[in-house]
Structure 1
Amino acid sequence: MAATTTGMQTAIPFDPYSYAFHEDPYPTYTRLRTEAPVYYNSDGDFWALSRHADVAAGFRDNVRLSNSWGVSMDPTSYNPHAEKAMSFLAMDDPRHLRLRKLVSKGFTPRRVSELSTRITDLTAQHWDKCLQMGEFDYIADFAGLLPMDVVSELLGVGEADRAHLRIQSDLLIHREEGVTDVPEAAIYAYLELHRYYTELLVDRRKNLGDDMVSALLSAEMPDDDGTLAKLTDDEIIGFMMLMVVAGNETTTKLLANSVFWGNRNRGELTKVLADPSEQQVSDWVEETLRYDTSSQMLLRRVIEDVEFGDYTIEAGQRILLLVGSANRDEDVFGADADQYRLGRGTERTILSFGLGTHFCLGAHLARLETNIGLDQLARTVRSYDIDEAGAERVHSVNVRGFARLPMTVQAR
């Protein structure tokens, strides 16, 4: 391995923990796709795939490429018990399929669609306050509130607890500069979230309602031996932990990335503000998902030798699937893949929600929330401005977005 990969990381430095990389990963991705599409980093002892075809193949190969140790590079998180924090995202079939089917009973498209009216009401509630202020922090006052409210309503979390849970959620994904593992604050945040959801589950078991947790407690399906299987407490708590990040953080980042890149590309933004139709808003969301997706990279553990390009990656190795890079691949999205252009029609080719058996269960909900949120913005403002000098990025290996995004709006 060393003989065939010598010089890769020297020629193309790639550190997923680097704050400089977080500011703009795309030049690195371009070099990786061009010069080393199958990349090995000996310092971090990981491989990385950057081209669309390879990343898509990696998603589809759920036999040789395993999720069972989680999808994060953090040494503390990468272990056989990753499912405690990542639920079925850190499982392989058949366990993954069993749990996903059971969870799906409480996460049906009908249940999600029924949320549409409630999401619209929550959006108006938060956005009206922003319009009245005129100048505000888009994250603290809107994008960070809406997804947490939606997840909380699904799980039956009271309004008084949501701000506390959002703080813990932010701490959970934040990574300290120069530290290549889970910081102490994130560990304490995990323990606090686990404690909270354990107590919520105990209470809900005594007081069943019409929320998703109650549905998960009641969900059952035939096991291999014909008996009816139910979710264990650990499985339900693991799913709630997953919802905090997958259902909250990534949608917050998608809402913010959309307005940031709209601000940077005024010609494209004008199309939406001049004609805030359902299609224009949807195009805005889809191009943001492609151009600067919230979920930048996901890890896989090789459990059986696999070939990519001219390389054989051996069992026991780790592979990063660089989703952010795949979504900018010129071979799939054209020579202008590095340009932000609405109306590409790339919904079926972007890899922002994965592919195959692990395709994101919450993809429909994330799109629904973001479309409703941006629709409300587009219909109520003549223009807006982002104070980029005051913006602060989130520093995370997997998630890309903003922790702070000052905004000024001119209402219609």
Structure 2
Amino acid sequence: MDLHYSPFDFAIQKDPYPVYKRMREEAPVYRNEEDDFYALSRHADVVAALKDSERYSSKNGLRLEPAFWGPQAEQIFSFVALDPPRHTRLRALVQSAFTNKRVQALEPRIREIGKAHLEPLLSGDTFDLMHFAGGFPTDVISELVGVPEADRAKVRDLGMAIMYREPDGGPVKDLPPSAMAAVGALVGYYTELTIDRAKVRQDDLLSGLLDAAEGEDRLTPEEVVSILILLVGAGIETTMLLLGNAWHAAAAHPDQKALALGGRIEDWVEETLRYDPPSQTIARTTVADVEVHGTVIPAESRILLMTGAANHDPAVFENPDAFVLGRDTAGSLAFGYGRHHCLGAILGRLEARIALEALTAHIADYEIDEANAVRIGSSNNRGFASLPTSFTAR
């Protein structure tokens, strides 16, 4: 059978790892003419590209859909869609506000949010894990940013509309009008919130972003809003999908599930990030001709860096297709690498740990109704829209 890979082929997305294996072995520089991209799937090649912003540019964004790809990508992906020196400047300003101290100080409130979302779902002996996994990180980001409680349901609905999924349809190569309208509405909301916060500061990330400065250099209001939009995908969707993937992976491996439910939470999080990461690809644009494994990739080519495939590279991970808690996951590329390593990695790990601790505090064992589980449809993310679960309470 001919090797075929497309990020828009949801049949592949249901289980991409066998395809990734063939790509690594047969076509480490893969070319898709129809969708006009190249793909690198070996760990060493992906790392080399992520380190090399001079030849692999972020200028057109991280995803191939027309709504996301191009010079407008900065409006959605903020500094993540920039190269040095603009990336260096914006990342430094954001980092001065989005500090580890601010994240760690939020832990007690994150636990309260988790409890409020989870406990109502556990009144019987069945629930949908994704009902918890979706609402929880949305409210955590709202708490971090400083969204008033009265507005959080609206922000949650808009965020879910942007995180578009149509798993039972054919290839969808762009966002639908409803998702684009949600992006516009969220931009409008955050613009108004930024204006209000500029008048009266609070103890939240939005105020921190408005106050972030290096000498006379400050973030513009437009830059602040783009950072807040970035948090919808980077701070909400990935955590939602991580929780679902962790729940599903453990259920499929009963011996590892026993360890997870027995308290191996951090190992559970880290192995899920390696084994089935929420984000599977990162797009780049080649600035000059690049030769990899004897293949010349022309300048201005679209290229997918297959982090999901790299996380299963046997050159880095022994028995990579096995789900093994406690393995060495230091080579995982789930949060990227180098200058674009995810600023929110600490928050994402903290949220996942708190959520799984809350779940295991109430649940002694569980099974997933695989027949009714529903996967999302996404070009670069992998996970579930629904995970019906039956459980035994502690």
TM superposition score normalised by structure 1: 0.92
The residue aligned with 1:351 is: 333
Equivalent in the alignment of 1:6: none
Q: Does the 8 Å contact 1:384/1:409 carry over to 2?
A: yes
Q: Which runs of 4+ in 1 moved over 6 A?
A: none
Displacement of 1:126: 2.0
* Contact 1:122-1:146 within 8 A present in 2 as well: yes
Question: For 1:341-362, what per-residue CA distance to the aligned partner results, in whole angstroms no more than 9, with x for missing partners?
Answer: 111021x210000111000000
- Which of 358, 367, 374 is the matching residue for 1:385? 367
C-alpha contact (below 8 Å) 1:175/1:181 kept by paired residues: no
Other structure's SS at 2:315 match: helix
1:102 corresponding residue in structure 2: 93
Q: Deviations over 1:348-387 (max 9, x none)?
A: 2100001110000000110011011111222322111111
* C-alpha spacing 1:90/1:208, structure 2 compared with 1 (3 Å): same
Other-structure match for 1:118:
109
Write the distance in 2 (CA, Å) between the matches of 1:329 and 1:79.
30
**Letter of the 2:303 counterpart:** I
- Residues 22-79 of structure 1 show CA distances to partners (whole Å, capped at 9, x for unaligned) of 2111111111011101111111110000111111111111111011111110123211
Residue identity opposite 2:102 in structure 1: R
Does 2:237 align with 1:253?
Answer: no
Is the 1:217–1:231 Cα contact (8 Å) retained in structure 2?
yes
Task: Give the match for residue 174 of structure 2.
Answer: 181
Q: Residue 316 of structure 2: SS of its match in structure 1?
A: helix
Q: Which residue of 2 aligns with 1:365?
A: 347
Distance 1:184 1:201 in 2: 26
**In the aligned structure 2, how far is the partner of 1:374 from the partner of 1:175?**
25
Alignment correspondent of 2:147: 157
> Which residue, out of 226, 232, 238, partners 1:244?
232
Are 1:305 and 1:313, in contact at CA under 8 Å, matched by a contact in 2?
A: yes
Counterparts of 2:210 and 2:171, CA distance in 1? 42
Amino acid at match of 1:345: D
Please tell me whether residue 32 in structure 1 is matched to residue 23 in structure 2: yes
Match of 1:7 in 2: none
8 Å CA contact 1:137, 1:406 repeated in 2: yes
Q: CA RMSD in A?
A: 1.3
Match of 1:225 in 2: none
Q: How many residues align?
A: 391
Are 1:38 and 1:309, in contact at CA under 8 Å, matched by a contact in 2? yes
| Aligned ranges 1:65-76 → 2 under 5 Å | 65-76=56-67
Any idea what SS the aligned residue of 1:133 has? coil
Instruction: Tell me whether 1:270 sits opposite 2:258 in the alignment.
Output: yes
The structure 1 residue matched to 2:126, chosen from 130, 135, 151, is 135
CA contact (8 A) 1:257 1:401 kept: yes
**TM-score normalised according to structure 2 size:** 0.96
Q: Distance in 2 between matches of 1:91 and 1:166?
A: 27
- Aligned residue type for 2:327: R
For structure 1, which runs of at least 5 residues remain unmatched after alignment?
1-9, 223-227
More moved, 301-310 vs 360-369? 301-310
Counterpart residue type for residue 220 of structure 1: A
Contact in 2 for aligned 1:175/1:182 (Cα 8 Å): no
Matching residue of 1:286 = 270
- What SS does the aligned partner of 1:79 have? coil
Say which SS state the counterpart of residue 338 (structure 1) adopts.
coil
Q: Which residue matches 1:3?
A: none
Residue of structure 2 in register with 1:5 after alignment: none
Q: Distance in 2 between matches of 1:182 and 1:377?
A: 33
Q: Verify the 8 A CA contact 2:250 2:260 in the aligned structure 1.
A: no
Deviation at 1:175, TM superposition (A): 5.2
* Structure 2 unaligned spans of 5+: none
- The residue that corresponds to 2:316 in the other structure is 332
Partner of 1:234: 222
The answer to whether the Cα contact below 8 Å between 2:139 and 2:156 also exists between their aligned partners in 1 is no
Superposition deviation, residue 165 in structure 1: 2.2
Q: Which amino acid aligns with 1:221?
A: E
Kept after mapping to 2: 8 A contact 1:390/1:405: yes
The CA distance in 1 between the partners of 2:349 and 2:237, in whole Å, is: 14
Find the residue that maps to 1:34 and give its secondary structure: helix
User: Counterpart of 2:158?
Assistant: 168
Letter in 2 for 1:48: A
Amino acid at match of 1:242: L
Q: Which residue of 2 aligns with 1:220?
A: 213
Give 1:292 deviation, angstroms: 0.5
Q: Which amino acid aligns with 1:117?
A: P
AA matched with 1:318: R
* 1:207 Cα deviation from its structure 2 partner: 1.9
**Separation in structure 2 between the aligned mates of residue 18 and residue 173 of structure 1, nearest angstrom:** 17
Deviations 1:78-125 (CA, angstroms, capped at 9, x unpaired)? 111211111111111111111111111110011111111111222222
1: CA distance, partners of 2:115 / 2:149 = 17
* 2:138 corresponds to: 148
Q: CA deviation at 1:305?
A: 1.8
**Alpha-carbon distance in 1 for matches of 2:15, 2:180:** 27
Q: CA deviation at 1:167?
A: 2.7
Other-structure match for 2:203: 210
- Mean Cα deviation higher: 182-191 or 125-134: 125-134
Secondary structure of 1:395's counterpart equals: coil
Tell me if structure 2 keeps the 8 A contact 1:87–1:242. Answer: yes
Paired-residue identity, %: 45
